[in-house]
Amino acid sequence: MPKLSPVSRRELVRRLRALGFEGPYPGGKHEWMRRNAVRITVPNPHEGDLDPALIRRMLRRAGISQSEWLGV
């Protein structure tokens, strides 16, 4: 299976929308996205791409497999 690679915040939001998530919606310190009862926090776009370890944690919380993520 191919490894996860770093992605920009914009690409993260695009892929999550393709997987059925809505948003991002404004929150306290971070925006968030939702799909049915699943709600995940979207990191702020400070600098550079998002680390694969952070993406992996977000996918686990959202119930998305790596193969599903890479297929988008």
Task: Residue 56: give its domain's CATH number.
Answer: 3.30.920.30
Work out how many domains the chain is built from and give that number: 1
What domain range is 37 assigned to?
9-67
Position 6 scores a pLDDT of: 93
- Give the pair of three-digit tokens for residue 38: 């699943």
Q: Is residue 3 part of a domain?
A: no
Percentage of the chain lying above the pLDDT 90 cut? 76
Q: Is residue 22 part of a domain?
A: yes
> What distance in Å separates the CA atoms of residue 72 and residue 64, rounded to the nearest whole number?
11
Higher-confidence position of 44 and 37: 37
Q: Is residue 34 part of a domain?
A: yes
Closest CA to 70 of 15, 22, 33, 23: 15
> What distance in Å separates the CA atoms of residue 5 and residue 21, rounded to the nearest whole number?
21
Q: Is residue 1 part of a domain?
A: no
Q: Is residue 35 part of a domain?
A: yes
User: pLDDT tens for residues 30-42?
Assistant: 899 999 999 999 9
Residue type, 53: A
Position 60 scores a pLDDT of: 94
